[in-house]
Amino acid sequence: MTDVLECTDCGQRTFYEKRRCLVCAADSFERRDPGVGELLATTTSHVTVDGVRNPNRLGLARFDGDTNVIAQLDGDLEPGDAVRLEDGAELRETDAGTLRGGRLELAD
């Protein structure tokens, strides 16, 4: 989840896979680089489930097109910081192995 999905009909963006666009119900998306976003809120979760780091720091970030994502967060980032999604982070362990994906990091 480091790409944003852009509806080919109306341009609405989402980070969350779905069959049809939330706005126009079209069924075709193109993958885009979301670029740099702004961190809006953070939390550190101290009650996590098996296979997930503890504590688990999470961030809510807004990207171009008012597109929001909630993702694991690295470092001491604070709301207002510029962030990007960096691929390859170890998100959680499952019976099928390690799940990797995008984690929010400070944008250069």
**Residues near another protein (CB under 8 A):** 1, 14-18, 22-25, 40-53, 56, 58-60, 66, 68-72, 79, 91-92, 99, 101
Closest CA to 99 of 14, 33, 1, 5: 1
Min separation Cβ 8 and another protein, Å: 16
- Minimum CB distance to another protein smaller for 30 or for 51: 51
Burial 59-69 (b: 16+ CB within 10 A, else e): bbbebeeebeb
Min separation Cβ 78 and another protein, Å: 10
Min separation Cβ 40 and another protein, Å: 6
Q: Per DSSP, what are the bridge partners of residue 67?
A: 63
Q: Per DSSP, what are the bridge partners of residue 98?
A: 93
